[in-house]
Structure formats: C-alpha cells, structure tokens
C-alpha cells in the first residue's frame, strides 16, 4: 500500500470503538472514499473530524476496503456553518445527497469543486433568503455533473428549440429534459413548464456558484422552482433524506 496525499471534504464522521474514527471523504484525486483513523482520541495526533470541513489528508489507499488515514491537516473549517443551524442543515443536505448518490472511488474534480464552492458560499452568506437559493443551484449542477440533465435548450427527442412564443413545452424527468407538444405524449408524467421558469433554471445551471449571494428571487418563484426540481431529482437520486426534513423544519420554524 502506497501512501497518498490529497485534498478532501469531510462528508461524515463517527466515533468507532474507544479511540478511532470512521470517516467518509469526498477527495479531489480519488472521489468518495471510506476511511478509518486509528488511535485518534487520547493522543496528540493532529486529526480533524468535525464535518463539513476542508482538509488535506495522507492515507494508505485500499481498494474495496477502508483506507487508513495517517494524517489530517485542516485547511478550512467553514466556521460560519457551525455557528448557524440553518446554514448547517443545508450543508448536511448537500453532503448527504453526495454520500448517497455518488459511487465510491469515482474521481470527479468538477463535483469536488462544486461541493467546495457550495459549502464556502453557505459559510459566508449573510442573507437568510439567499441561503435558500443554494439548494436548487446545487441540485441542478449536481444532476448535470452526474449526467442526468436537465437539458433545457430544446426538445430532448426532436431537438425543437424552445422559444418564448412557443407554447406546450413540458419538463420530463424520464426523458432528462424538455419535451415539445408533439413529443410529450411519450411521457404522461411530464410537467408543463413556462418559458420564464425554464429560463431561470438554465440561468442557475450556468451561474458561477460564488455569484449566488447576488441573486434575488421572489418566494413564489423559488417554491415553484423547488417543486419542479424535486420532481426531476427524485427520479434519479435517492429521496427522503433526513437532512432535507431538518431543512424544512428549520425553515418553517
């Protein structure tokens, strides 16, 4: 086993027996990995196990088994997340979605940096209303990185381009994007979508993450966006995340 070093985001951490930690990392070089840090408690070894956090780790890689962490250096603890329950609940939702939807040991630098940027924006954002835009932005970009779409510029089947004055377009989770009036017969579960909502989804999909705090969106439009995304996301990704229930409870409190 060769010793490897990589940057990582701590997705999950839990104590194992008396002195060890079981960890789930999303790493820059190896994708999602499960690891164990032995003898952490009761020693002076430098480890960081509060999540989420951005770290540099040294570890002995084991295929199809737990990797062994030998050192962990803290790069960014995202302090704003740990001081605000609403921010923390949204970060837990993002981390849980990655943990459940991404297969182990599939390296994807685009996903790594998306996850880092989303956590950084949550860490630094000031306006509570802006926090709620992080969820749809992440879901859209996450789905696209995984290859599920949504494809929003034209009909997925016949390639007819969506125009402002062309009615009848629908969003189809099954097809992975838009269907025109003629092609939507192939998916009776598709939802009618307005040109303005489709434009908004396209805008969010391509927006640089660090610009999210500048975006303003009315409450009713935000709710409509979340409803459409839930329909699309639940077709491809695990649903019923416990962290999402926490997000909703805190939002409605």
Average pLDDT over every residue of 70-74: 89
**pLDDT value of position 47:** 62
List C-alpha distances in Å: 187 to 19, 179, 184, 228.
54, 9, 6, 16
pLDDT category, 183, cuts 50, 70, 90? Answer: very high
Question: Within a 10 A sphere around the Cβ of 68, how many other Cβ atoms?
Answer: 16
Residue reference for tokens 């000031």: 126
Q: Is residue 161 part of a domain?
A: no
More reliable by pLDDT, 131 or 9: 9
pLDDT score of 39 more than 90: no
Residue 32 sits in a domain of what CATH number? 2.40.50.140
List the beta strands (DSSP E) in 28-115: 31-37, 54-60, 67-76
Task: Say yes or no: 196 and 246 in one domain.
Answer: yes
- Rounded-to-integer distance, Cα 101 and Cα 164, Å: 35
Task: Say yes or no: 72 and 130 in one domain.
Answer: no
Q: Is residue 115 part of a domain?
A: yes
| Phi-psi region at 113: left, alpha or beta (left = phi > 0; alpha = psi -120 to 50) | alpha
Please count the structural domains in the chain.
2
* pLDDT one-digit tens code per residue, 107-139: 999 999 999 999 999 999 988 778 889 999 999
**pLDDT value of position 171:** 97
CA angle at 115 for the pair 97 and 250, rounded to the nearest 5°: 55
- Rounded-to-integer distance, Cα 136 and Cα 204, Å: 8
Write phi, then psi, for 164 (nearest 5 degrees).
-60, -35
- Rounded-to-integer distance, Cα 208 and Cα 238, Å: 26
Handedness of CA 158, 226, 223, 219 (dihedral sign): negative
DSSP tag of 213: G
pLDDT category, 163, cuts 50, 70, 90? Answer: confident
Say whether 50 sits in a helix, a strand or coil: coil
The residues that bridge with 12 in the sheet, in sequence order, are 24
List C-alpha distances in Å: 207 to 132, 133, 140, 177, 184.
16, 12, 11, 19, 28
**pLDDT value of position 158:** 95
**pLDDT value of position 184:** 93
Write phi, then psi, for 175 (nearest 5 degrees).
-85, -15
DSSP tag of 28: T
pLDDT score of 194 more than 80: yes
pLDDT category, 78, cuts 50, 70, 90? Answer: very high
Task: Say yes or no: 118 and 65 in one domain.
Answer: no
Give the residue from 32, 54, 76 where a domain finishes.
76
Give the residue from 20, 53, 76 where a domain finishes.
76
- Structural domain that includes position 69: 3-76
Task: Say yes or no: 69 and 118 in one domain.
Answer: no
């Amino acid at each position: 086993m060769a010793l490897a070093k990589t940057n990582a985001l701590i997705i999950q951490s839990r104590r194992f027996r008396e002195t060890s930690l079981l960890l789930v990392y999303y790493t820059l070089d190896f994708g999602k990995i499960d690891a164990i840090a032995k003898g952490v408690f009761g020693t002076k070894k430098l480890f960081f196990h509060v999540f989420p956090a951005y770290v540099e780790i040294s570890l002995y890689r084991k295929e199809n088994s737990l990797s062994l962490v030998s050192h962990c250096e803290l790069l960014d603890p995202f302090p704003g997340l740990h001081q605000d329950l609403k921010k923390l609940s949204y970060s837990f939702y993002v981390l849980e979605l990655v943990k459940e939807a991404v297969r182990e040991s599939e390296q994807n630098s685009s996903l790594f940096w998306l996850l880092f940027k989303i956590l950084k924006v949550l860490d630094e954002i000031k306006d509570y209303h802006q926090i709620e835009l992080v969820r749809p932005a992440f879901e859209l970009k996450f789905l696209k990185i995984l290859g599920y779409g949504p494809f929003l510029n034209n009909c997925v089947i016949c390639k007819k381009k969506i125009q402002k004055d062309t009615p009848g377009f629908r969003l189809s989770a099954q097809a992975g994007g838009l269907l025109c009036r003629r092609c939507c017969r192939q998916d009776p579960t598709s939802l009618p979508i307005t040109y303005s909502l489709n434009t908004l989804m396209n805008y969010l999909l391509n927006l640089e993450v660090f610009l999210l705090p500048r975006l303003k969106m009315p409450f009713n439009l935000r709710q409509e966006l979340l409803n459409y995304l839930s329909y699309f996301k639940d077709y491809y990704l695990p649903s019923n995340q416990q962290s999402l229930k926490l997000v909703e409870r805190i939002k409605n409190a």
